[in-house]
Structure 1
Amino acid sequence: MIARYSAGDTTTRLAEDFDVAKSTILGILRANNVVVRRQPLTVMQVAEAAQLYESGLSLSQVAEHLQVNQETMRVAILKAGITMRAPTGA
């Protein structure tokens, strides 16, 4: 896994190949002191995120669903042209 990642495979690809969550791959890499590359969202992930957010899910719920950082999710949704709702304070 580490060799493949170091050779250029993405965490998404590794997660699919090993049938585990992307967060599991990231955890293994970090536990082995591998410097993790930036994890951009795919076009399909951004589209899914936008749909989920617009359906009423919170930003943190969408981020959890897609197993990404909340700030990564916020930036992607804004770039997709989605207007953010006011925070609920929950």
Structure 2
Amino acid sequence: MPTREELAVTVRTVISDVLGTDPADVREHTNLMEDCGIDSLELMEIGARLERVLRLRIEPDDLTRARDVGHAIDLLRLRLDRPV
């Protein structure tokens, strides 16, 4: 299982790939909806890519209920600790 830091790098990289930004621009406190203007299709793409990379089933609520990138990382970490 990846460390939280490794998971954070993965999540930031996937988000930046989908949004076409630099991973350094995606921080723990970044709110994808408010700060990046992400739409539902982009969020679904992020979820699908994370599922492939992490080999983990991600429920849509796992990403939509996240307040910011850091919260999404924590939610995914919990999912990795207790796979469904």
TM-score (norm 2): 0.30
Larger radius of gyration: 1
TM-score (norm 1): 0.29
Query: Does 1 or 2 have the higher relative contact order (CA < 8 Å, sep 6+)?
Result: 2
More helix by share: 2
